[in-house]
Amino acid sequence: MYNSKIVGAGHYVPEKIVTNKDLEKLMDTSDEWIRERSGIEERRYIEFGKDTTANMGTKSAKIALERAGLTADDVDFIVFATLSPDYYFPGPGVIVQHELGCKRTIGALDVRNQCSGFVYALSVADQFIKTGMYKTILVIGSEVQSNGLDLTTRGRAVSVLFGDGAGAVVMQRTEDNNKGILSTHMHSQGEFAEALCVKSPGNFKETKFYEDMHIDYDYSTCLMDGQLVFKNAIVRFSEVIMEALQANGYTADDLDMFVPHQANLRITQFVQRKLQLPDEKVYSNIQRFGNTTAATIPIILSELWEKKGIKEDDIFVLAAFGSGFTWASALIKW
Ligand code: ACO
């Protein structure tokens, strides 16, 4: 058995910055309400016709490959996590295979675990590398949320939280079993599926897709029981981080960096207090990008890569919670 390690990280966010003040012009909200409840100051929205979920994934993957000193032809497999694909089907993984110009017809797998999607995708890649099946895997998280948000007062409880963006990592085999992804941990609790979901298009009711689309507001927009999500998130984040630490004989004191899914700054701060981590060991960029769902964690990894914020032997925990409910963690030794 091998271990897998991250050998490159890249990200791409659209140029268009949408501040809380910009949202005040569209709906009955305020900069103060959004900052206080979520920590968000601004987010990015795509320019329609320029960026899509798939092509932002490709752009971030190209950067990650370049930083790894690899090319598209080195990639054996693609794992793509998103809740906002370009098409209902096929998923965006195949589009990346094409846009990267891969000469080989490598496999492309799509993961649908929303906010936990990147950690789930990383775990899938880790297993393929561990068994020796693939040597080099691209793992991508990318989202275009803006196209699905109701930017009127009716949709404000959800729409102020989300933004667009993408991140990617390249994973490769290492023969050092004490390095790389040390373990991954995944959970779900489907009884809460409807606490955070978009129902259409779906087969949960008899109506034809083409009859349902664009007419039934409650089915086509994101439904979220915000307080239920919050209460579950703070418990599950802490649990799944402790699970990862204990599985490897570590404690929170051993952590060099906590990379949380960027759901809400208040959730991150709650978990930080629980683990008694100093500010410099917790990464937050929700202030600048909002919640970019599957893209939040790889965007952070790429920002740290750029800032040379990752050192040999650093211990990182990645953790996420979201729709499903699903939650997951990964412990990494660089
Ligand atoms: N601007 C102004 N007022 C608003 C807005 C807004 N954008 N949205 C809702 N309000 C109003 C509500 O209508 C309500 O008004 P009322 O008291 O007159 O009825 C009031 O603000 C309070 O609403 P609550 O929903 O109770 O506000 P809460 O303090 O729970 O904060 C929030 C809402 C931020 C969504 C919070 O519940 C939360 O953080 N939940 C976690 C959900 C989350 O992080 N989701 C992200 C996606 S999931 C994930 O990534 C894990």
243 C-alpha to ligand 1 centroid (Å): 29
Q: Does residue 276 come out as left (phi exceeding 0), alpha (psi in the -120 to 50 range) or beta?
A: left
Q: How far is CA 168 from the centre of its chain?
A: 10
Instruction: Give the model's pLDDT for residue 221.
Output: 82
Tell me the two tokens of residue 42: 């601004």
37 C-alpha to ligand 1 centroid (Å): 7
Phi, psi of 312 (to 5 degrees): -50, 135
pLDDT-based confidence at residue 206 (cuts at 50, 70, 90): confident
Proportion of the chain above pLDDT 90, given as a percent = 90
Cα 207 to Cα 219: distance, rounded to the nearest angstrom: 11
- What is the residue with the minimal CA distance to atom 12 of ligand 1? 157
SS3 for 215? coil
261 is catalytic: yes
Cα 185 to Cα 241: distance, rounded to the nearest angstrom: 9
- What is the residue with the minimal CA distance to atom 35 of ligand 1? 226
Mean of the per-residue pLDDT values of the chain: 95
Lowest mean pLDDT among 4-13, 204-213, 269-278: 204-213
pTM of the model: 0.96
Cα 286 to Cα 278: distance, rounded to the nearest angstrom: 18
Lowest mean pLDDT among 27-31, 94-98, 146-150: 146-150
**DSSP one-letter code for 47:** P
Instruction: Give the model's pLDDT for residue 149.
Output: 94
Lowest mean pLDDT among 64-68, 84-88, 222-226, 293-297: 222-226
Q: How do residues 228-245 score in pLDDT, each as one tens digit?
A: 999 999 999 999 999 999
Residues with CB under 6 A from ligand 1: 29, 33, 37-38, 115, 156-157, 160-161, 196, 226-227, 229-230, 233, 263-264, 291, 321-322
At residue 223, does pLDDT exceed 80?
Answer: yes
Active-site annotation holder among 55, 115, 222, 232: 115
At residue 174, does pLDDT exceed 70?
Answer: yes
At residue 199, does pLDDT exceed 90?
Answer: no
Which residues pair with residue 137 across a beta bridge?
77, 171
Instruction: Give the model's pLDDT for residue 110.
Output: 98
113 is catalytic: no
Q: At what angle do helices 296-306 and 117-130 cross, to 10 degrees?
A: 70
121 C-alpha to ligand 1 centroid (Å): 29
pLDDT-based confidence at residue 215 (cuts at 50, 70, 90): low
At residue 210, does pLDDT exceed 80?
Answer: no
**DSSP one-letter code for 76:** -
Phi, psi of 40 (to 5 degrees): -75, 135
Instruction: Give the model's pLDDT for residue 208.
Output: 74
- What is the residue with the minimal CA distance to atom 29 of ligand 1? 37
291 is catalytic: yes
Going by C-alpha positions, the residue among 271, 270, 277 that lies closest to residue 252 is 277
Phi, psi of 150 (to 5 degrees): -85, 105
Cβ atoms of 111 and 141 closer than 8 Å: no
Query: Average pLDDT, stretch 205-223?
Result: 73
Domains of the chain, start order: 3-174 (3.40.47.10), 180-333 (3.40.47.10)
For residue 99, count other CB atoms closer than 10 A to its CB. Answer: 17
Cα 8 to Cα 331: distance, rounded to the nearest angstrom: 17
Instruction: Give the model's pLDDT for residue 1.
Output: 86
Q: Which residue has the higher pLDDT, 207 or 304?
A: 304
Helices (H), the chain: 20-24, 31-38, 53-68, 93-99, 117-130, 156-159, 209-212, 217-220, 226-247, 265-275, 286-289, 296-306
